[in-house]
Amino acid sequence: MISVAIDGPAGVGKSTAAKAVAKKLGYIYVDTGALYRAIGLFASERNIGTTDAAGISAKLHEIRIKLDYLDGVQRVFLNGRDVSDDIRKPEMGMAASNVSAIPKVRDFLLDLQRDMAAGQNVVMDGRDIGTVVLPGAKVKIYLTASAEARAKRRFEEHVAKGEQVSYNDILTEIKQRDYNDMNRSIAPLKQAGDAVLIDNTGWTCKETADQIMKIIEEKTV
Ligand code: DC
């Protein structure tokens, strides 16, 4: 089985690139951020604070998360309910980042992620795929860009959807999430020693996907 691990900070275009590459290769795309978002959603709906480690850890046994694919698109099920749209609400990014710092939450999601990669070729994106989830992945990419470039892309995505947002609010959130994700004590966001670094500041989505494809081709011949 071949695994491609793509890690990097929020808003860097991991999912867009990973989806394009997975499609080209005929691999399954696994968006692991969706799993943390589902737990963030669970906590919010139960009125458990997303930084309440003891409160969330005590409820993990009530959580069943499943990833399924409908027409090749990943859907996330939380206790049988399709929450794929709900987890995309803007506030779920920070909720996911908060719950992802809880060691028991990371443990809880580890086997699910590894099982996905055990039986099929995958392109998996997240924060700790190359370092923790799939340390033996054949290809590892660490994708990054300036916080300003990432905030600008997010801002433009919202504007294209007709949503009213402030660039400065988005930039502040991106910086806060970077800090959270890079400084937590367990599985922080960092480049794996054997990952290829790509800084895509100023690049188009296509340029990013093409560069990743080139690296995969080099590493899998
Ligand atoms: O990729 P995303 O924005 O959907 O991820 C949401 C949060 O989930 C992110 O800020 C940190 C956490 N996360 C993580 O800790 N490990 C992963 N492999 C994926 C996401």
pLDDT tens, residue by residue, 24-71: 999 999 999 999 999 999 999 999 999 999 999 999 999 999 999 998
Span from the CA of 221 to the centroid of ligand 1 (angstroms): 31
- Element of type H or E holding 196: strand 196-199
Q: Model-level pTM?
A: 0.96
Q: Which atom of ligand 1 is nearest to the CA of 87?
A: 4
pLDDT at 1: 93
Residue nearest to atom 1 of ligand 1 (CA): 33
Ligand 1 in reach of 8 Cβ (< 6 A):
no
The alpha carbon of 177 is separated from its chain's Cα centroid by a whole number of angstroms, namely: 12
Mean residue pLDDT of the chain comes to 96
pLDDT digits (tens, 9 = 90+) for 100-129: 999 999 999 999 999 999 989 999 999 999
pLDDT at 178 over 90: yes
The residue count for the chain? 221
pLDDT at 118: 96
Q: What is the mean pLDDT of residues 155-180?
A: 93
Q: For the purposes of burial, counting CB atoms within 10 Å of the CB of 14, is it exposed (0-12), middle (13-18) or buried (19 or more)?
A: buried
